[in-house]
Structure 1
């Protein structure tokens, strides 16, 4: 328990003096996340809140458009705790649909836009949403799945804000009082792929999301005059919660781009004060000769997450831009856990580390017997705090497995405190105890891909691994063993995988071998495979 004690001691004073006022007055007893976020909106709600290349949206627009959508959802007479599944392209209206779901006291279920029919069918079957919102291009197959899984309401929403959802909401009132919620009530379910091939729905409460938003608001020094360059997708924690909540709670403007586009990034960076991205974004900025100190002259903070940031990228960015990227660490189940400091008085930003435990969050590194390890020793990372999720949707046994008897969540990551030249209260993630691959900021679980490959004609077995990649952090590689007397056509296998899996899960290389390397117990030695193919 030595390390936890140190972490709490370091932050005791900071946490006391920086507690947001929301914690003190509880907004008159309503713990609805939207009530917290709206408390940060500026008094003049005619100001621009979201700027896109084509249109601007004011704070009034956010209030009124989300109110219309919330009124529509309540008019459907949905059961308490009903889920709203959303698989749409990024747009300001999509963000307002999320806010409307929260305002209405319902549960938001974002789905990666790359998911194919087989994947979406699982989510609809498991979560049993009452409403599904999709891109109009996918309406036909989504409607078929909705009929099959019992989803009662299907709407469309396209990236320009059009669709049947907008038509239905237009007749609704533009005033809405947020439905009262307790801190322990569900606000969102985020599905994370499982090492067994079955995805798990992480249940996040209003209290989880609110506590983390407030901590990051203080810790990263959010200001009302900030301008966030938002290029992240909004179907996962980074773009939907960390970035959007930060700007909304601060009453700060967002420059809203559908995705990373280097030309647009170079254009908007001089107009921004904060940028968040996955490491791939920073690699691509460095690859463009137009990116220099002048371009980011008004930026006060670059933040990286969702995948490990290579030390060479960290150093090259300092040299080129004069800015030190702030790297942080979080999960779908916990939102943010640690961060390199924004305030130099708290500490410096150290490349290769994910910084210190955030205020109110406890982090420990333990051995397999749960004994705390000294700085410099590598072990299992476990966490607890108000940001840690409620459990896995309809998986009580899995939930119990992932928490220790004394209430710590087992992250599945391997790390260490301190190390050579690193303060003892800085965490470094050195690996993953599970087979998780993080490619371009997306989580890829090998077992899910292996199950699909093994079903293919002529395949005996397979092993999927992650290997180093200069841009994506890790690349997915499949090693496939054919059945006796069969030949594997790699191009046909790739085409079959693309029809069933999201693009980020598709192996960038497929190798056909006679057999997989195993240990004496018969277990495939993926560490050997990773070493063998590390230079791809």
Structure 2
């Protein structure tokens, strides 16, 4: 398979990236050329974001966590050392590396160090466990994993053991902290050899692999290219009016698309802003950090934003320096948006986006009516959106339907997932989002999007997208379960909580026993049920499928 760059630069030497392009779906050459002509794509490698920041603002603080901070120059030099050390260990350009670190400065070091070695990070989340990590390793062909030692009582070194045992290609496990019998991250950081000389980066190939929300089965891998991700981070920061005077708080898991590049850590770097990392999202801890570092911008999921707003009624230290709070992950009602806008920060930016690419968000200066009643408008003038009915026909302007999208930063196919791609993309390259929306046709909201529901069977719990069908497969595996349905129940703080409606073969088990079983199967912590509802039978539709609407109706009465 050839990339747009290879088509554009026929006859030029191309960088050797191993088997990275196997299973990668590139942008079509005509659209790639169009995005270059428009100035969106600049053919810069993703790590140039840090290199440029270090050149422009060497002594400005880049990242801070409770234990350490680095200036842009220090972070740049540390990334070089890590990159050189990884190359010295035999990792080759194009190799994939599972990156699973918490919200600490070393996350930024690892990300850029991996990029400096021309490796491709797979952005795993702290809550992922063996089921997901083994899947990511197998699909990506990862040769290494980077993990912490122990966080919140969970020993990631045991997870690394499991990965090495089950994936012959995965030869390296680097541990930040006490490495045990694995390789020491500290030793990498102390390496003093030079970075090897490499050919120029092909900016049309994958820079990193994000993980999907897992709408069907295990999460899929999303290949984001250097060109599209640099464009995303830089443009979103500009559209948010961010400057070097801003301080961004990374409170959601940093491997998520939202706090990583929308504008997040990377977007903040493009304007010379400082990023503060925290692993404690509680209002008490977060408000203290915001006050100490005079944080001005942060990104939250709806549930967390409501908790913070409520806490403003009693916390002694308030987040008075915040100028804007970005909220995404699930749709807010107008009442929720007004509550957050009036109680937490003077600015609210609703974001409707996806790791697959497409971003809609409200802008600074938008009327309050638009901010509280819409989920924004597209980031790019070249974002293409269609709203279609069940037959695939476009609906009249202003009416509801499924959102289909393509554009300069939306993927053209999941990584090494042909069956999923056949379902998820139209023949002309539009991504089927699975979200039900309307695009306002006139008035002050014209061109803005309202999310009205979803088509895919997913649960939005605290900003995480949980596949109901994948969880049901795990539930069915329990010997006591005869039938099961995973459904969403409304929750004031999580948005939706996960309910396992189960028909047992005999005596029922407890929720704790069920979640212990899921833990043993390596199911992510955020995918485990909050509620267990034993039922005598599951209601069915006329065609024999489980009627989940009736299940929810029975449970909420």
For this structure pair, what is the TM-score category when the shorter chain's length is used for normalisation? 0.7 to 0.9
Contact 1:104 1:179 in 2 (8 A): no
Root-mean-square deviation (CA, aligned residues, Å) is 2.9
Q: 1:424 aligns with which of 438, 446, 461?
A: 446
Q: 2:46 aligns with which of 17, 23, 33?
A: 33
Give distance in 2, aligned partners of 1:321 and 1:455: 44
| Residues 474-516 of structure 1 deviation map (CA, whole Å, 9 limit, x = unaligned) | 1000100122x45444442233223332221111111111111
Q: CA deviation at 1:143?
A: 2.2
The alignment's TM-score, normalised by the length of structure 2, stands at 0.84
Alignment of 1:195-210 (within 5 A): 195-210=215-230
Q: CA deviation at 1:49?
A: 1.5
| Residues 101-154 of structure 1 deviation map (CA, whole Å, 9 limit, x = unaligned) | 223222111222222223322222222211111222322441242133111111
SS in 2 for 1:405: coil
Q: 1:213 aligns with which of 212, 217, 233?
A: 233
Q: CA deviation at 1:455?
A: 0.9
Give distance in 2, aligned partners of 1:22 and 1:378: 31
SS in 2 for 1:496: helix
SS in 2 for 1:299: coil
Q: CA 1:177–1:341 in structure 2 vs 1: closer, same or farther (change >3 Å)? A: farther
Partner of 2:478: 456
SS in 1 for 2:543: coil
Contact 1:293 1:322 in 2 (8 A): no
Q: CA deviation at 1:35?
A: 1.4
Give distance in 2, aligned partners of 1:307 and 1:520: 31
Q: CA 1:85–1:229 in structure 2 vs 1: closer, same or farther (change >3 Å)? A: same
Partner of 1:9: none
Alignment of 1:188-337 (within 5 A): 188-192=208-212, 194-242=214-262, 243-270=264-291, 271-289=294-312, 295-321=318-344, 323-334=346-357, 336-337=358-359
Contact 1:38 1:249 in 2 (8 A): no
| Residues 24-74 of structure 1 deviation map (CA, whole Å, 9 limit, x = unaligned) | 893xxx521111453244634122112223332111111011111111222
Alignment of 1:358-397 (within 5 A): 358-359=379-380, 360-397=382-419
Q: CA 1:420–1:488 in structure 2 vs 1: closer, same or farther (change >3 Å)? A: farther
Give distance in 2, aligned partners of 1:176 and 1:241: 28
Give distance in 1, aligned partners of 2:196 and 2:269: 18
Alignment length (residue pairs): 510
Partner of 2:191: 171
Q: CA 1:244–1:348 in structure 2 vs 1: closer, same or farther (change >3 Å)? A: farther
Contact 1:377 1:417 in 2 (8 A): yes
Contact 1:31 1:180 in 2 (8 A): no
Q: CA deviation at 1:190?
A: 2.1
SS in 1 for 2:48: helix
Contact 2:55 2:73 in 1 (8 A): no
Structure 1, gaps ≥5 residues long: 1-18
Q: CA 1:156–1:408 in structure 2 vs 1: closer, same or farther (change >3 Å)? A: same
Give distance in 2, aligned partners of 1:418 and 1:292: 39
Which segment is superposed worse, 309-318 or 505-514? Answer: 309-318
Partner of 1:521: 543
Which segment is superposed worse, 379-388 or 139-148? Answer: 139-148
| Residues 208-241 of structure 1 deviation map (CA, whole Å, 9 limit, x = unaligned) | 2112112212211111111112212112111222
Structure 2, gaps ≥5 residues long: 1-34, 150-154
